[in-house]
Chain A
C-alpha cells in the first residue's frame, strides 16, 4: 500500500463517466416533454418518490417529482430563497425541505432555471409507502391547485421479516383502484397490456441497476457516489421507458469495462465507505472531499429503493410486492441487517451518516443503526448534520473537521504503523 496521502492542495475532481453525456440528453428531453405535455395531450401527474411510476407511463403520462425538482433547485442554488418564501407563507421551518422548496417555487412562480417554474399538475398522486409526510404535502398541494388527488395506502408493518399476503393484496387493490381513478380523471382508457409492457421495461432497468450496484463491490470501486446519485435520475424518473433501459445498458457496459480494467473511481482508494442516506444536493462536492484522503463510497441503500424486480405477467400483485419491499419496511434492526450484508460484500471500512434535519423518517434510526454496526461489526462511523436541499443549515468547517478526524481514525485502524 502507498504511503499515507498528504492532503492535496487542490480540491479533488474525479473524471466524469462517458455515459454522463447521455444523462444530460435524457434530462433535457424529460424537461422538454414536461413543458410540452399540455400541447401533446399528455396528463402530467405529480408523484411521490415511491409511487408506482409504472401506472403513469401505462397511461402515457408524464410523471413529475417535486422531490427531484427541489433537488434540482438546490443544485442550482435557488433553494434557500424558495424555502424562505414557503416559511413566510406559514409553513413551519423544519418541514421537509423538498416540500418547502417546491412550495416556494410555486408561490413565487419561479423555477430552477430562472424561468417561471413548472405548469400546474393535472393529477396529484401520493403513497403512504415511504413516509407519513408525503400524503400531507400532497394534500396541501391539492388545496392549492384544486386538482384531483389520489392517495395510495400501504398499511405495512416495520417489524416483519416476511411480507404477509394480506398486505400485498391490500396494496394490489389500492393500485388497481388508482389506475381506474387515473382513467376517470384523464378520460384515457386503462390498458393492462400497456401496463405489462411498462412493468417489463421497469424490471429491465432495475435488473441493469442491480448489476451496476453489484459491480461497485470491485476493488477498487469503479464509479463515484456522485455518479451513482446523478445516474439515478433515469431510474427514478424514466423507470418504465425504453430510454431508461438503453441508458443503463450503456452505463452497465462502461462500468463493466472499468471493472475489467481495474479502473477505480478515485486515483488512490484507501478507504471504502457507505453513505447513509440522502445526497446533499447543494454540496455534492463534499463527497469529493473524502476522495482527497482516499475515501471512496462503494455502496448505499438509496438506489435500492428505486430498483425493484417486477413480473409483467401479474402486474398489480407484483407491483404491490415490489413497493412493500424496499428498506423503509425494515425497523432499525432490519436496515442494519441490510447494511451488514453489504459491509461484508463490499469490504466496507466505515459508514458516514448524513443526519438530514428535515427528514425524521430516514434520520431517526441512524443513531441506533450506528450503534448496532459498531457493536456487532466494530464498524466505525461518523455523523454530521445538514439538510438535503436547504444550504442555510450547514457548517462547512465543522463538517470537514469531522471528516478529517474520521479519516485519521480509519487510517490508524486500517494502516497501523
Chain B
C-alpha cells in the first residue's frame, strides 16, 4: 500500500541509521511501560523494538521455540545485526518473556546502555510512588549516560510532545466514528506502526499535514462490515489487507500498539515524574497488570462507540498473559452482542489463505 507512514515503518532501520549518521543516539525499548518521555528528554530517540516475519535464524540458540514468536523475532533481528544502530535497550518488567530477556540480550548484544526497569503490577497510590522512585533512578542513569541534565522543564516539554502526538493519533482514530471514514483500517494501522519508530515530533508533523488534507470520505466499499481488531502485537500488514479483501473494515482497535498505546495523556505540571508514573500505570492495562477489568471496559466501550459488528481477537501463540484472559473476553464480548473470531497468530510463517477463510466465514456470519 502507498503511504508515507508505512514507508517510514518499512524503512525503519535505514531511517535509524540515518539518525545515527547525523549524530543522534537511539535507545530501543519494549512495551507500553517504558517511559519514553525520559529518553526523549535526554536527547535520545526512543524506538520501539519490533520483530519481523523473517524466519528465525539465530535466536533458537538462545530461546526455546515455545516462547512467543514476537520476542524470539526481536532477539533474532538483533542477533542478525538489524539493530546495530542501537546505543542501548530498556526492558520493563511486564510478562515472563521480558523477565527472561534482559540477561540474554545483555550477554549477546552487549549494549552500551541497558536498563531492566522494574514496573509494578498494580496502579495503587503506593505503586505509583514506587514507580516514580524508579523513574527518578532511570532519569539519573540516562543523565549519566547522555551527559544531559533532565530538569522538570525539559521533562514537561517531552511530555507535551508525547501528549500532542497521542492526541493527534486519537483524532485519527476518531475519524472512523463516521459511517464513511476517510481512512481505511490499513492506513490507520500504518499510522500507528510508524509512530512506534519515528521521533514523535516528526510523526506529529506528518499527522497534522494528513489531518489538514484528508481525502474525501470513502464510500463504505461494498457494505464492508465494521470490525474491531484486538489482542496483543503483530505487524503484518498483509493480515490487515486480508481483512479488507474479505469485506471487513477495521474501524478501531484494542492493540498494544494501537489504542492501548496512544490513548493516554500525562499530566503536565510540577511533579512530572509522579505524573509519568501515574499516567503509565493507570492507562488501559496490558494483561500483565492488575486489575484486568479496565481493558474489557475499554474494549466494550470502543465496540459500542465505533458500532462494530464483530471483534477479531488476535493473540500470539504462547502469550500466556493474554491467553488466560481470552475465554473471558470472548464470552463478555459475545454477551454484549459482539461476535468474536479467535485467531492464534505468529508473524513468522503466517498463512494468508487459512486466515482469509476464517475471516470470510466470520464476516459472512455477521452480515
Residues on A close to B: CB < 8 A? 89-92, 94-96, 99, 128, 131-133, 135-137, 139-140, 143, 151, 153-159, 166-167, 170, 173-174, 328, 330-335, 355, 357-358, 360-361, 363-368, 371-372
B118 contacts which of A89, A143, A157, A364 (Cβ < 8 Å)? A157
Summed over the interface, the residue pairs from A and B with CB atoms below 8 Å come to a total of 155
From residue B102, how far is it (CB to closest CB) to chain A in Å?
5
Size bracket of the B interface = 35 or more
Complex Cα spacing A90 to B332, Å:
14
B103 at the interface (CB under 8 A from A): yes
A333 contacts B107, C-beta separation under 8 Å: yes
A360 contacts B67, C-beta separation under 8 Å: yes
B160-200 residues with Cβ-Cβ distance < 8 A to A are: none
B64 contacts which of A132, A137, A363 (Cβ < 8 Å)? A363
B61 at the interface (CB under 8 A from A): yes
Contact digits for B201-234, partner A, Cβ 8 Å, 1 yes 0 no: 0000000000000000000000000000000000
9 A-B interface contacts by CB (under 8 A): A94-B66, A133-B96, A137-B324, A140-B327, A153-B121, A331-B100, A332-B100, A360-B66, A371-B61
Q: Which residues of B contact A154 (CB under 8 A)?
A: 121
- The chain B residue with its CB closest to the CB of A99 is B324
B318 contacts A94, C-beta separation under 8 Å: yes
From residue A86, how far is it (CB to closest CB) to chain B in Å?
10
A331 contacts B96, C-beta separation under 8 Å: no
Complex Cα spacing A334 to B116, Å:
14
From residue B287, how far is it (CB to closest CB) to chain A in Å?
7
B321 contacts which of A91, A136, A158 (Cβ < 8 Å)? A136
From residue B60, how far is it (CB to closest CB) to chain A in Å?
8
B118 contacts A368, C-beta separation under 8 Å: no
B62 contacts A368, C-beta separation under 8 Å: yes
Check A367/B62 contact, CB under 8 A, given A151-B122, A360-B320. Answer: yes
Check A155/B120 contact, CB under 8 A, given A94-B317, A367-B64. Answer: yes
A159 contacts B102, C-beta separation under 8 Å: yes
- The chain B residue with its CB closest to the CB of A127 is B121
A96 contacts which of B93, B134, B292, B320 (Cβ < 8 Å)? B320
B66 contacts A357, C-beta separation under 8 Å: yes
A153 contacts B324, C-beta separation under 8 Å: no
B130 contacts A159, C-beta separation under 8 Å: no
B122 contacts A153, C-beta separation under 8 Å: yes
A136 contacts which of B68, B119, B120, B287 (Cβ < 8 Å)? B287
A151 contacts which of B96, B106, B290 (Cβ < 8 Å)? B290
A360 contacts which of B100, B117, B344 (Cβ < 8 Å)? B100
Q: Which residues of A contact B246 (CB under 8 A)?
A: none
Q: Which residues of B contact A367 (CB under 8 A)?
A: 61-64
Q: B104, B119, B321 — which one has the most chain A CB atoms within 10 A of its CB?
A: B104
B110 at the interface (CB under 8 A from A): no
- The chain A residue with its CB closest to the CB of B120 is A155
- The chain B residue with its CB closest to the CB of A159 is B116
Complex Cα spacing A159 to B291, Å:
26
Q: Which residues of B contact A131 (CB under 8 A)?
A: 96, 99
B133 contacts which of A89, A99, A166 (Cβ < 8 Å)? A166
Complex Cα spacing A174 to B104, Å:
30
B116 contacts A331, C-beta separation under 8 Å: yes
Q: Which residues of A contact B121 (CB under 8 A)?
A: 128, 135, 151, 153-155
Complex Cα spacing A193 to B205, Å:
63
Complex Cα spacing A365 to B115, Å:
18
Q: Which residues of A contact B96 (CB under 8 A)?
A: 131-133, 360-361, 364
From residue B36, how far is it (CB to closest CB) to chain A in Å?
19
Complex Cα spacing A328 to B102, Å:
13
Q: Which residues of A contact B73 (CB under 8 A)?
A: none
A89 contacts B327, C-beta separation under 8 Å: yes
Q: Which residues of B contact A157 (CB under 8 A)?
A: 93, 116-118
Q: Which residues of A contact B37 (CB under 8 A)?
A: none
B118 contacts A167, C-beta separation under 8 Å: yes
Q: Which residues of B contact A366 (CB under 8 A)?
A: 64
B279-299 residues with Cβ-Cβ distance < 8 A to A are: 287-288, 290-292
B343 at the interface (CB under 8 A from A): no
Complex Cα spacing A158 to B106, Å:
12
From residue A331, how far is it (CB to closest CB) to chain B in Å?
3
- The chain B residue with its CB closest to the CB of A136 is B324
- The chain A residue with its CB closest to the CB of B137 is A164
B330 at the interface (CB under 8 A from A): yes
Complex Cα spacing A157 to B141, Å:
15
- The chain A residue with its CB closest to the CB of B290 is A151
B317 contacts A143, C-beta separation under 8 Å: no
A361 contacts which of B99, B130, B330 (Cβ < 8 Å)? B99
Complex Cα spacing A9 to B13, Å:
61
A364 contacts which of B63, B94, B133, B325 (Cβ < 8 Å)? B63
Complex Cα spacing A89 to B323, Å:
13
Complex Cα spacing A137 to B298, Å:
22
